[in-house]
Structure 1
Amino acid sequence: MTVEISAQYVKELRSMTGAGMMDCKKALQQTDGNLDKAIEVLRQKGLASASKKSGRKTAEGLIESYIHAGSKIGVMVEINCETDFVARRSEFHNLAKNIAMQIAASPQVEYVDLESIPQSIINKEKLIEAGKDDILKKPKAVQEQIIDGRVKKRLNELSLLDQTFIRNNDITVRDLINENIALMGENIQVRRFVRFLLGQGITNTSPSFSEEVANMIKS
Structure 2
Amino acid sequence: MSKKISAENIKELRSKTGAGMMDCKKALEASKGKIDIAIENLRKKGLAFADKKSNRVATEGLIDSYIHAGSRVGVLVELNCETDFVARQPEFHKLTKDIAMQIAASQSVRYISKNDIPEDVILYEKNIELNKEDIINKQIDVKKKIIEGRVNKRFKELCLMNQPFIRNPDINIEELVKQHIALLGENIKIRRFERFLLGEGLEAKSGDFTQEVSNMINNT
TM over 0.5: yes
Which residue number corresponds to residue 202 of structure 1? Answer: 202
**Counterpart of 1:124 in structure 2: which amino acid?**
Y
Which residue number corresponds to residue 111 of structure 2? Answer: 111
Alpha-carbon RMSD across the aligned residues, in angstroms, is 3.2
**Deviation at 1:135?**
1.3
- Count of residue pairs the alignment pairs up: 200
Q: Are 2:87 and 1:87 aligned?
A: yes
Larger CA deviation: 49-58 vs 136-145: 136-145
Alignment of 1:20-169 (within 5 A): 21=23, 25=27, 29=31, 33-35=33-35, 38-39=38-39, 42=42, 47-169=47-169
Q: For residues 172-193 of structure 1, what are the alpha-carbon distances to aligned partners after superposition, in whole Å with 9 as ceiling and x for unaligned?
A: 0000000000000000000000
Distance in 1 between residues matched to 2:131 and 2:89, nearest whole Å: 50
Which residue number corresponds to residue 213 of structure 2? Answer: none
Which residue number corresponds to residue 209 of structure 2? Answer: none
Check whether the contact 1:76–1:193 (CA below 8 A) recurs between aligned residues: yes
**Deviation at 1:27?**
10
Distance in 2 between residues matched to 1:71 and 1:13, nearest whole Å: 48
- Give ranges in structure 2 of 5+ residues lacking alignment: 207-220
Distance in 2 between residues matched to 1:63 and 1:77, nearest whole Å: 6
Check whether the contact 2:10–2:28 (CA below 8 A) recurs between aligned residues: no
Which residue number corresponds to residue 175 of structure 1? Answer: 175
Which residue number corresponds to residue 217 of structure 2? Answer: none
Distance in 1 between residues matched to 2:205 and 2:143, nearest whole Å: 39
Distance in 2 between residues matched to 1:171 and 1:5, nearest whole Å: 23
**Deviation at 1:203?**
2.2
- Give ranges in structure 1 of 5+ residues lacking alignment: 207-219
User: In structure 1, the residue corresponding to 2:199 is in which secondary structure?
Assistant: coil
Distance in 1 between residues matched to 2:164 and 2:114, nearest whole Å: 15
Which residue number corresponds to residue 18 of structure 1? Answer: 19
**Counterpart of 1:61 in structure 2: which amino acid?**
G
User: In structure 1, the residue corresponding to 2:165 is in which secondary structure?
Assistant: coil
Distance 1:96 1:15, change over 3 A: farther
**Deviation at 1:137?**
2.2
Distance in 2 between residues matched to 1:82 and 1:205, nearest whole Å: 48
Which residue number corresponds to residue 217 of structure 1? Answer: none
